[in-house]
Amino acid sequence: MNHYALFLTSFSPACRKLACLPILVAVLATALPGCGGNSQPGITLLNVSYDPTRELYRDINALFTRQWQEKTGIPLTINQSHGGSGKQARAVIEGLQADVVTLALGYDIDALVEHGGLVAPDWATRLPHNSVPFYSTIVFLVRKGNPKNIRDWNDLIRPDVSVITPNPKTSGGARWNYLAAWGHVLTERLGDPALAVKEPDSPAVKEAQAAARAFLADLFQRVPVLDSGARGATTTFVQRHIGDVLLTWENEAILAVQELGPDQFEIIYPSHSILAEPPVTVVDKVVDSRGTRDVATAYLEFLYTPEAQQLAAKHHFRPTAELPDKDNIPVFPEIRLFTLRDLHGDWKTAHTIHFSEGGVFDQIFNARQVSDRNSP
């Protein structure tokens, strides 16, 4: 008796029909690009981006394609792809034909330099502000009325507080959260966190870094769930009512308050935080082979224009340019910001120290595992 054959025939007819679905999808998928190319003359660009920028780039693309067509007469279509930042970078490394990438952190663009030489090593210097057209920061989202009275970083390691932040190994946003906490301790201890790079061997810096490590160990002791991505962490905090405070991008926090009701959550700005810089670049290998370098570069330069900056501000990203129309943009509270360059110089160093296999983040959990085993 062949159980496998019987197994297949035992499905209800509806389910068997469902099994044909993948074939149908495959047929459509092979057919569609062909007709798409024929019916749409002109240029197409692909912008590969991370999760929270979906609505922002939809608005920017509409504006830019209109302007481009008016200027050159050539129709332009910009396609968007969104997902976790690291996953998106990997897709480009594995052959996704992205003309431009707009990712959550410089490390993911550095990966495009290192794997396959898709982007020139000097990418960060090609556009103003280290190729970061608009920025954000890391803030606290707490429940309405702030029942645990969380005001600043040091409140996060109080024994009665439970913190939600995703796994920094799988989430770009979580790396900013983690480094913001690290930078907080350095700022508190040293006054100027940039001393960590300027005088790496001074005893004060060493002592501050040890304190920062202890702070992060305490912090992650208070994390009950390590989600794999930023949206997952927001769901855990908002829908599952787990945790007292969520560490997240400012733009995500504002969006959460707007979407879910100001009667449920409020944003707390700590005394200082990190300048979270999501950078952009053209993918050299792709634009050279597709012949789209001019339009791709123009597109990225457009991000620095007042119109685009205005849209960014509307979507809760902090603009880098002074905007003429002050009345029409939301006010972002003043907050003291340190940069990744202050803390570690560059992403590669930061990543090796903290997030690589056996780095500080792993050591925190390994030490905890050992102490759990030894305690009765």
Q: Which of residues 142-201 bind another protein (CB under 8 A)?
A: 167, 169-170
Please report which helix (H) or strand (E) contains residue 302, including its range. helix 293-302
Q: Which of residues 76-105 bind another protein (CB under 8 A)?
A: 84, 86-87, 89-90, 93
Helices 203-221 and 360-374 pack at an angle, to 10 degrees, of 60
Instruction: Tell me if 3 contacts another protein by CB under 8 A.
Output: yes
Closest CA to 102 of 58, 36, 50: 50
Q: Which of residues 321-340 bind another protein (CB under 8 A)?
A: none
Q: Which DSSP category does 277 fall into?
A: -
Closest CA to 273 of 343, 218, 223: 343
Report residue 175 as tokens: 């790396």
- Please report how many Cα atoms fall inside a 13 Å half-sphere around the Cα of residue 299, on the Cβ side: 30
Of the candidate residues 97, 228, 305, 320, the single one contacting another protein (CB under 8 A)? 228
Would you say how long the chain is, in residues?
376
Please report which helix (H) or strand (E) contains residue 313, including its range. helix 306-314
Q: Is the distance from CB of 98 to CB of 81 less than 8 angstroms?
A: yes
Q: Between 17 and 46, how does the x/- string for binding to another protein read (CB under 8 A)?
A: -x----------------------------
Instruction: Tell me if 279 contacts another protein by CB under 8 A.
Output: no
* 149 vs 371 by CB, closer to another protein: 371
Of the candidate residues 99, 155, 227, 342, the single one contacting another protein (CB under 8 A)? 227
Cβ-in-10-Å burial (0-12, 13-18, 19+) of 126 comes to middle
CB of 359 to another protein, least distance (A): 10
Q: Tell me the window of 60-68, 178-186, 194-202, 233-241 that interacts with another protein (CB under 8 A).
A: 233-241
Instruction: Tell me if 4 contacts another protein by CB under 8 A.
Output: yes
Q: Tell me the window of 13-21, 130-138, 265-273, 285-293 that interacts with another protein (CB under 8 A).
A: 13-21
Distance between alpha carbon 266 and the CA centroid of its chain, in Å?
Answer: 21
Instruction: Tell me if 7 contacts another protein by CB under 8 A.
Output: yes
Q: Tell me the window of 62-70, 121-129, 232-240, 295-303 that interacts with another protein (CB under 8 A).
A: 232-240
Of the candidate residues 241, 326, 334, 376, the single one contacting another protein (CB under 8 A)? 241
